[in-house]
Structure 1
Amino acid sequence: MEKNKPGKKFRKYIRTLHLYLGLATGLVVFIVSITGCLWVFQEEITALTSKVPEVVPQTNPEIYPLEAKNIAQSVFPEKYIHGTLYGGGKKPIEVIFYEEEPEFYQSVFLHPWTGEILHTEDHLTGFFHFVLDGHMHLWLPKELGSEIVAWSTFIFFLMLVSGIILWWPKNKKVRKQRTWFKWKPSTKWKRKNYDLHQIIGFYASFIAVIFIFTGLVMTFETFAKVFYNGIGGEKEVVFAVPENPSGSFKNSPKKNEPIRELMPFLKEKFPDAKDFEIHYPHDENHSIYVEVSNSDGIYYDSDYRFYDQNDLSEVPSKTIYAVYEEAGVAEKILRMNYDIHVGAIAGLPGKTLAFLISLLCSSLPVTGFLLWYGRKVKAKAPQRQEKQVLATSN
């Protein structure tokens, strides 16, 4: 008996920790899980419901990036243009406006060959913006909501680990009982709820920890750096646009600006690219930043390329955001983080798995609360009634 006491005490501490952490973060975990579940197929659903018109492809050159910028700027004259997306095929050119404070996020869609304004879209409205805001900020002010989500996610990570410890039985016979539902017609809802919490929690935990871990990498900058350095990374975990090696931009009326030749240059160099997102230089000293998408539905294998404003010579990057094929193992793993988080890394099966795991995780705070409520709150009710009867009789 004495030998078992330390083990029992340890499990008791773990159970108490699991309980109070669950009660403290249950609502947050439920919201983050449900919204994450809804977000998984956002791209596919948005593509089906999009109001952006298609265009008939032509053989003549498309309008060049500065033309697209000037046309779109007429719609929102005082707003900052984040970049211009050339999707090719039947897709119009998308000029993206974004400002952080006060937040402004809209797109202007242009006809690639005539420059006609086809459509404008506000990304801060609609169902999926509501979902993402809940997932990242709980519909609270960003500074407050993001902190609550971040630390609740970390706590949920600890809860999954403690839950596995509590689940793990001492012998094989009990272990079999905890790996599948064995309900009889006479099984009460309390037992069913207990089994749902334990069995679903056990199976979901091993995959959920991956999604939670990737969420922590995106949430905590220090956590991301420690993880990256821990797997052998040596580059800077920041995004930075390098300066022009040739110095300040030297515009001359005798020659076309190099950026005019950028799109023909990119299409010739990367004929298999899915799209090109052009980011205009911050000033005359910085290079042109281009994100070259190499695959549909994923982001990790995109190339981050930088070109001198004066001659379009390629400028190397010292950060993890560079050419994918030239990246080391640590860089590739870190760049895969978002695609792993939403399951896109494994295509449609991966997204389906992410959807199901998020849905199962959302059930854990509910079944856990019902367990606590049934044991503590309802159990005290008969005792209170008994005391009232005794008091009345006296």
Structure 2
Amino acid sequence: MSKRMWFKLHGWFSLPIWVLFCFICLTGTIAVFSHELTWLFNENARANNPDNLPTKNVAELVEVVEQAYPTADVSMVLTFEPYLVNAVMFSDSDKPIALAYINQYSGEIQEINEGMTFINFMRSLHSWLLFPWQNGYSIGYYLVSAMSFVMLGALVTGLVIYKRFWQSFTQPKVRTHQGQRTLLADLHRLGGVWSIWFLMIMSVTGLWYLVQAVIWHADIDLEGHPPVVAVSEMADANGEPVTAPVGFAQALATVKQRFPQFQPTYVLLPEHNRDMYHFYGAGDEIFYDQYSYNVAINPWTGAIADEKSPATMSPLVTATHVADPLHYGTIGGIWTKAIWFIFGLILTAMSITGFMMWAGRTYKAARAKQRVDVGSKASLQKREV
């Protein structure tokens, strides 16, 4: 295949959907710092601790909400970085669904949020473009995931047409005095070469998200579900109904005893009598997400009904739990997130410079064709005279 054909193929991978691609890159870049931006612009989301108080556990936070709203039905607890408040989801007579922002150090409820949070908005906008979910799938999720083919194709074709690209690592070339077209081309190539590793990570994780979408759509459950509580377990040895089920604090203690390194990030309380306490959290593993540990506690017996951890994961389940940290750069905290943010901006800029170069060449070719057509018409008229 000729270089000219590779060049056209490179353009075909990017230009027809460059606006969508650019938008997805930009929203993903912002989503990387969605927690930090929430802290910056919402003072009620900040977990200030001037007195160096110890961190309250999630069971204590649930008690805070139940004391403030005696008729509330608490359903979920979310924990974030130490500088952000914890969120307790509940419903009440005048609140169909609400999030209580609780300072995990002071135990103070700093805000009641009854709408969508900025974190959820940015993650949803980037992941499925706010398209609705129906029957286990979203068209937006497929659109975003399919961008991985575009990214991978642009990377491969770009490396083919850019000969000796590795020289950009040791001898970067940015010509600022040879016109806009040359400058844009140099910046585009330089950004592409230095972003090879980033493009590969985004492409691979994006392809996995596409596979994951197909799995969800096909109603295939990779991790399975814990069993519901057996009716016999809701009664004591004499067959009498158990009147004092296991409390939330005791269930949490059982999880911590099983996995001492467990840090809860997402906790679901039982929705009905046969439901379990569901504890999701993270451990000491760097490359696993904040849901890599999953423990179900029987609320009537206090026993562990089901458990999952990185040590027991299958390869497909492992891929599910390592994709997000690699995609969003959370593997090393704020420092890796900053690196992902910078390269996300570079990738966004590359889509813009690529379009600008294409638009410039298209305009120049159109003008040249127009001049040729005008010249041909003038010559024809001259011969007729």
What TM-score do you get using the length of structure 2 for normalisation? 0.73
> In the alignment, is the contact (CA less than 8 A) between 1:37 and 1:358 conserved in 2?
yes
Q: 174-183 vs 336-345, which deviates more?
A: 174-183
Unmatched 5+ residue regions in structure 1?
Answer: 1-6, 99-103, 226-234
> In the alignment, is the contact (CA less than 8 A) between 2:175 and 2:182 conserved in 1?
no
Q: In the alignment, what sits opposite 2:365?
A: 379
Q: Deviations over 1:59-78 (max 9, x none)?
A: 99965858856965846x7x
Q: In the alignment, what sits opposite 1:191?
A: 182
| CA–CA separation in structure 2 for the residues paired with 1:90 and 1:44 | 9
Q: In the alignment, what sits opposite 2:278?
A: 289
1:166 aligns with one of 161, 169, 178? 161
Q: What is the CA distance between 1:41 and its match in structure 2?
A: 2.1
Change (3 A) 1:241 1:194: same
How many residues align? The count is 359
Q: What is the CA distance between 1:314 and its match in structure 2?
A: 1.1
User: Which structure has the higher relative contact order (CA within 8 Å, separation 6+)?
Assistant: 1
| CA–CA separation in structure 2 for the residues paired with 1:279 and 1:354 | 31
Q: In the alignment, what sits opposite 2:145?
A: 150
2:225 aligns with one of 240, 255, 279? 240
Is 1:358 aligned to 2:344, yes or no?
yes
| 1:1-394 correspondence runs (5 A) | 7-8=1-2, 11-48=3-40, 49-52=42-45, 63=60, 68=65, 74=71, 82-85=75-78, 94-96=87-89, 106-109=98-101, 118-122=110-114, 124-126=116-118, 128-138=119-129, 143-167=138-162, 169=163, 176=167, 180-183=171-174, 186-221=177-212, 237-238=222-223, 240-244=225-229, 247=232, 249-250=234-235, 256-260=244-248, 261-266=250-255, 273-275=262-264, 277-294=266-283, 299-300=289-290, 302-317=292-307, 322-327=308-313, 331-388=317-374, 391=377, 394=381
Letter of the structure 2 residue corresponding to residue 20 of structure 1? W
Letter of the structure 2 residue corresponding to residue 161 of structure 1? V
Q: What is the CA distance between 1:245 and its match in structure 2?
A: 6.2
> In the alignment, is the contact (CA less than 8 A) between 2:296 and 2:306 conserved in 1?
yes
Q: What is the CA distance between 1:316 and its match in structure 2?
A: 2.9
Q: What is the CA distance between 1:84 and its match in structure 2?
A: 2.6
Q: Deviations over 1:336-366 (max 9, x none)?
A: 2111111111333322221122111112222
| CA–CA separation in structure 2 for the residues paired with 1:363 and 1:222 | 28
> In the alignment, is the contact (CA less than 8 A) between 1:72 and 1:108 conserved in 2?
no
| CA–CA separation in structure 2 for the residues paired with 1:136 and 1:60 | 31
Q: Deviations over 1:269-292 (max 9, x none)?
A: 666544464312343334321124
| CA–CA separation in structure 2 for the residues paired with 1:365 and 1:74 | 52
Letter of the structure 2 residue corresponding to residue 256 of structure 1? A
| CA–CA separation in structure 1 for the residues paired with 2:301 and 2:37 | 41
Change (3 A) 1:330 1:26: same
Q: In the alignment, what sits opposite 1:232?
A: none
| CA–CA separation in structure 1 for the residues paired with 2:367 and 2:81 | 67
Letter of the structure 1 residue corresponding to residue 183 of structure 2? K
| CA–CA separation in structure 2 for the residues paired with 1:153 and 1:73 | 48
| CA–CA separation in structure 1 for the residues paired with 2:361 and 2:339 | 33
Letter of the structure 2 residue corresponding to residue 135 of structure 1? H
What TM-score do you get using the length of structure 1 for normalisation? 0.72
Counterpart secondary structure, 2:289: coil
> In the alignment, is the contact (CA less than 8 A) between 2:88 and 2:99 conserved in 1?
yes
Kindly report the root-mean-square deviation, in angstroms, between the aligned alpha carbons of the 2 structures.
Answer: 4.4
Change (3 A) 1:16 1:185: closer
| CA–CA separation in structure 1 for the residues paired with 2:147 and 2:75 | 32
Letter of the structure 1 residue corresponding to residue 280 of structure 2? E
> In the alignment, is the contact (CA less than 8 A) between 2:44 and 2:110 conserved in 1?
no
Q: 374-383 vs 255-264, which deviates more?
A: 255-264
> In the alignment, is the contact (CA less than 8 A) between 1:293 and 1:301 conserved in 2?
yes
> In the alignment, is the contact (CA less than 8 A) between 2:61 and 2:107 conserved in 1?
no
Letter of the structure 2 residue corresponding to residue 33 of structure 1? C
Counterpart secondary structure, 2:369: helix
Q: What is the CA distance between 1:238 and its match in structure 2?
A: 3.5
| CA–CA separation in structure 1 for the residues paired with 2:143 and 2:340 | 22
| CA–CA separation in structure 2 for the residues paired with 1:84 and 1:324 | 22
Q: What is the percent sequence identity of the aligned residues?
A: 17
> In the alignment, is the contact (CA less than 8 A) between 2:32 and 2:341 conserved in 1?
yes
Counterpart secondary structure, 2:332: helix
> In the alignment, is the contact (CA less than 8 A) between 1:180 and 1:199 conserved in 2?
no
Q: 266-275 vs 301-310, which deviates more?
A: 266-275
Change (3 A) 1:323 1:364: same
Q: In the alignment, what sits opposite 1:230?
A: none
Q: What is the CA distance between 1:382 and its match in structure 2?
A: 3.5
Change (3 A) 1:110 1:373: closer
| CA–CA separation in structure 2 for the residues paired with 1:144 and 1:323 | 31
Unmatched 5+ residue regions in structure 2?
Answer: none
> In the alignment, is the contact (CA less than 8 A) between 1:64 and 1:263 conserved in 2?
no
